[in-house]
């Protein structure tokens, strides 16, 4: 009788442990990019035609519209009044970058980062500027990863990171699992920059694409990069 009770109690304890472990695993999965549930703000619908028009004006009919929508989502959650310590507006331009863009692109003068339409026009053109300077990337996925890293932290940092990866015998033409692992940035800046790239390309862009925003995905599903 005692042996039976002991076995019964042991089975109950094992079942409880399995439930607890399962719950912990579920919590962990919820934090991964592939498990993220992206809610697309209603404000995006008001800017949809502007994003499509400006993206296609710069990139042609095959423009990666969903990618730019994902980038705006990450930058400001489609809030044209968004302000941080260093940047402002829908596309979160710093004042010096906004002024530089207004000088390089006369049609965008004067700088107006608080204006949503100006921000979209400027973001698409600035991304084009950064992205074309990464033409030696191994794949389009890597090229856009470099470009997004440059938008977030400055193009000069991408050059430094690629050189650092090369010195470490990593592939300087690939981002995921290569250049993304090499940088001299502060820990907080490294995390912000790497999370920025991953979330846009592996989580937000697929969500906007699934919601019907035009453009082919830059990267393979996230499982291929884990």
Question: Is 26 in the same domain as 50?
Answer: no
Please give the chain's pLDDT, 226 residues, in tens.
445 554 544 444 444 444 333 433 333 333 344 558 999 999 999 999 999 999 999 999 999 999 999 999 999 999 999 999 999 999 999 999 999 999 999 999 999 999 999 999 999 999 999 999 999 999 999 999 999 999 999 999 999 999 999 999 999 999 999 999 999 999 999 999 999 999 999 999 999 999 999 999 999 855 533 3
Question: Is 57 in the same domain as 165?
Answer: yes
Distance of alpha carbon 200 from alpha carbon 175, whole angstroms: 14
Ranges of H-type helices in the chain: 2-30, 43-59, 65-76, 95-104, 116-132, 140-153, 155-167, 187-199, 205-210
Question: Is 146 in the same domain as 67?
Answer: yes
pLDDT at site 56: 98
The CATH number of residue 150's host domain is: 1.10.530.10
Question: Is 51 in the same domain as 10?
Answer: no
Question: Is 61 in the same domain as 150?
Answer: yes
- From residue 122, alpha-carbon distances to 25, 101, 127, 214 in Å are 42, 7, 8, 20
Contact (CB, 8 A) for 145 and 201: yes
| Counted domains in the chain | 2
Coil, strand or helix at 143: helix
Distance of CA 61 to the CA centre of its chain: 22
Question: Is 26 in the same domain as 110?
Answer: no
Question: Is 18 in the same domain as 105?
Answer: no
pLDDT at site 33: 46
Write out the residue range of the structural domain in which residue 120 sits: 40-225
Question: Is 11 in the same domain as 74?
Answer: no
């Amino acid at each position: 009788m005692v042996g039976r009770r002991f076995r019964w109690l042991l089975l109950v304890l094992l079942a409880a442990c399995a439930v607890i472990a399962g719950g912990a695993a579920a919590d962990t999965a919820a934090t991964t990019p592939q498990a993220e549930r992206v809610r697309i703000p209603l404000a995006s619908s008001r800017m949809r035609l502007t994003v499509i028009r400006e993206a296609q004006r710069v990139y042609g009919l095959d423009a990666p519209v969903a990618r730019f929508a994902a980038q705006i989502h990450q930058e400001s959650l489609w809030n044209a009044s968004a302000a941080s310590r260093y940047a402002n507006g829908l596309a979160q331009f710093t004042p010096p970058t906004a002024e530089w863009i207004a000088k390089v692109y006369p049609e965008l003068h004067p700088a107006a980062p608080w204006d949503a339409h100006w921000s979209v026009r400027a973001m698409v053109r600035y991304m084009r500027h950064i992205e074309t300077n990464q033409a030696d990337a191994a794949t389009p996925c890597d090229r856009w990863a470099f470009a997004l890293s440059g938008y977030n932290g400055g193009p000069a940092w991408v050059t430094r990171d690629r050189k650092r990866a090369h010195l470490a015998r990593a592939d300087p033409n690939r981002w995921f699992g290569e250049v993304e692992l090499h940088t001299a940035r502060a820990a907080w800046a490294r995390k912000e920059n790497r999370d920025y790239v991953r979330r846009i390309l592996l989580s937000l862009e697929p969500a906007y694409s699934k919601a019907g925003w035009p453009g082919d995905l830059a990267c393979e599903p996230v499982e291929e990069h884990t």
